[in-house]
Structure 1
Amino acid sequence: MASNPIKKKRVALDGILLLDKPVGLSSNDALIQSKRLLNAAKAGHTGTLDPFATGLLPLCFGEATKFTQDLLDADKTYDTVVHLGISTTTGDTEGEILATNAVNLTSEQARAVTDRFRGEILQVPPMHSALKRDGKPLYEYARAGITLEREARRVTIREIEVLDFQSPYLSLRVTCSKGTYIRVLGEDIGKALGCGAHLQQLRRIRVGELSLENSIRLDALAALAEENRTTVLLPVDSMLGSFPVIFLPDELARRFLHGQRLPLIKEGVAFTPDAGRVRVYREADKRLLGTAQVREFGILAPERLIAG
């Protein structure tokens, strides 16, 4: 009688994996594969990246999962190629062609129209998206041939740069606020140019303070010896690089980890009065204790705490 294989016990890992997601793989599948390769007990991703898209997908493990919202809320930067003159049902190469138009534009015209999208704009979320209506993602309605009314949302295009224009291909670098759909941006630019458009390529290169330059592909992770794979994890505070720092002596650190509010001025702890959100460390060993808010009168209010 064949014996059942013994399941490996999952390991409690803390840190961030900067994954360079390949085309065709969903964010959830990328998470599952990464979690298996690292034999991790607890993991989560920081917002979906379409299967069509490639690039930076930060994956959080263990204590890092407490801070995923910070990356969800962070600005993102993308490189994209907009194919002018062809509109599709999905706004990218995975959809069916809806219309084809001639593209008679100069580089100056393309740049002038693209520049108009810098700043705060309104976007209507696409039907082919994970936004939910009555508990179902919009893409399920779209696959059933159902189109629902969607309310326009305000998003912010921090920067939009034309990297190249070789008609009909318009290459852009876009830094934007959370909730921005680059597919919709490409479609809207095509409409403004009078020819329609869809995305030919989409690659995310930055999320908040995290960059694609420090990422690893799944095949490269799998090629590492199993005992060496955790060496690619970044520390938990890598995603908090923009937060001011506060160091606490041992007794205050203990009280902080118990969720107590601390009077920084009274305790003689150095801080920036208008810091807002901060990352907090124990002074003795420089261990991250969590994040907090600096309130009025120098009160440090614990927010998310690191266990252990």
Structure 2
Amino acid sequence: MTARAPRIRVQRRPVHGVLLLDKPLGLSSNDALQKAKWLLRAEKAGHTGTLDPLASGVLPLCFGAATKFSALQLDAPKTYEAVALLGTTTSTGDAEGQVLQQRTVDAAQLTPQALAAVQARFTGRILQVPPMHSALKKDGRALYEYARAGIEIERLAREVEIHQLNLALAHTESGLPAIKIVVQCSKGTYIRTLGEDIGAALGCGAHLTFLRRIETGGLTVDRCISLEALEALPEQDRLAQVLPVQTLLAGHAEIPLDEAEAGRFLSGLRRRGPWPDAPAVAVYGARPRALLGVGHVRGGELIPDRLLSPLEIQQILQGLSPADPGAPHAPSPITHTASNATP
């Protein structure tokens, strides 16, 4: 009996930042996250909301301290490109489902005026009925579990917002009529449902054959890297693909604090200063420059919301795990703790 080779244990390390991944088709968001986490040997990771396995495109992955701000991307507007094949509806709203109905498409009715009318109808605040093939929960079970068991669950329509919508007549490779959709929308929007509703409004039905997320919260697909490209890099170059934590905070006003004030802020204390009211600010230590956390300003008072730990800040300043050979020493920007800080 041949002895099994011992399994090689991956030595994890602290990684802090954001990896903009171009998720491939057929892979779940969690599978993509776990693969990237393994390639980076990261200790802690999370994603910013699921992207359907049948969709490709922008999937920001958060590591270490960045996971504290992942909800910002979850709530951010998103932009998709999609293709809806006209004349055929399916059980899932995409090409994976069973065909429910097929209708003849009258190309003469697909005029620019007709598309413009439908485009206007689905721009702004609209109501959507969530699809059965979705991860929404009912009594602790995802709707898609009921759908696979042949059980239809009543769903209430939900309001979503379509910020921008562009529809254009297209054709598949086999010459069948289709609609190309480019849409910027609020969180919670189901693009499959939008494609179905557009097909219904055109009088012929439709289902999606292509879906790609090209932007989320200002993070665009041209900045992304694929798993294959990440894996092909030498290990020391993979970390260079991880963007700073503050990549998630592009919409936040910046407030710098000196060393003493930085320590007090990190202790959770409110600070007073000449700052205008702001719902979201990113707070930095001045020397060395280091992200401390986020907060908001009300009545000239800086109020902490989410804070990095002193250890996370030290590791970010070092750029390497302290356990890694050759990690440069960086002094901690924290000299005040909760025990000796004063308001």
Shorter-chain TM-score: what band? over 0.9
Structure 1: distance between partners of 2:104 and 2:133:
26
The runs of at least 4 consecutive aligned structure 1 residues that moved more than 6 Å come to none
Tell me the number of residue pairs that the alignment of Structure 1 and Structure 2 aligns. 301
Question: Could you tell me which amino acid in structure 2 is paired with residue 55 of structure 1?
Answer: G
Unmatched segments (≥5 aa) in structure 1:
266-270
Task: Please point out which of 120, 143, 146 is paired with 2:148.
Answer: 143
Structure 1: distance between partners of 2:70 and 2:137:
20
Structure 2: distance between partners of 1:164 and 1:56:
25
Matched, 1:200 2:200: no
- Deviation at 1:97? 0.6
Unmatched segments (≥5 aa) in structure 2:
311-343
Which residue is 1:268 aligned to?
A: none
Distance 1:307 1:107, change over 3 A: farther
Q: Secondary structure at the match of 1:178?
A: coil
Task: Please point out which of 213, 216, 220 is paired with 2:225.
Answer: 216
Matched, 1:79 2:84: no
Question: Could you tell me which amino acid in structure 2 is paired with residue 298 of structure 1?
Answer: G
Task: Please point out which of 274, 286, 289 is paired with 2:289.
Answer: 286
Task: Please point out which of 170, 180, 183 is paired with 1:174.
Answer: 183
Question: Could you tell me which amino acid in structure 2 is paired with residue 305 of structure 1?
Answer: L
- Deviation at 1:5? 3.1
- Deviation at 1:285? 2.1
Q: Secondary structure at the match of 2:278?
A: coil
Which residue is 2:9 aligned to?
A: 7
Matched, 1:56 2:61: no
Question: Could you tell me which amino acid in structure 2 is paired with residue 288 of structure 1?
Answer: L
Task: Please point out which of 243, 251, 256 is paired with 2:260.
Answer: 251
Structure with higher Rg: it is: 2
> Which TM-score applies when normalising by structure 2?
0.85
Distance 1:224 1:163, change over 3 A: farther
Matched, 1:126 2:131: yes
Distance 1:258 1:140, change over 3 A: same
Which residue is 2:277 aligned to?
A: 274
Structure 1: distance between partners of 2:5 and 2:195:
55
Matched, 1:38 2:40: yes
Contact 1:107 1:165 in 2 (8 A): no
> Which TM-score applies when normalising by structure 1?
0.95
Structure 1: distance between partners of 2:23 and 2:308:
28
Contact 2:277 2:296 in 1 (8 A): no
Structure 2: distance between partners of 1:111 and 1:97:
28
Deviations 1:8-27 (A, max 9, x none): 22111001011101111111
Question: Could you tell me which amino acid in structure 2 is paired with residue 148 of structure 1?
Answer: I
Structure 1: distance between partners of 2:21 and 2:111:
35
Which residue is 2:194 aligned to?
A: 185
Matched, 1:155 2:160: yes
Structure 1: distance between partners of 2:5 and 2:96:
45
Q: Secondary structure at the match of 2:105?
A: coil
Distance 1:219 1:3, change over 3 A: closer
Deviations 1:89-120 (A, max 9, x none): 00011101101111123231123212210000
Which residue is 2:248 aligned to?
A: 239
Contact 2:169 2:177 in 1 (8 A): no
Contact 2:93 2:208 in 1 (8 A): yes
Matched, 1:66 2:75: no
Cα RMSD of the aligned pairs, angstroms, is: 1.3
Contact 1:209 1:239 in 2 (8 A): no
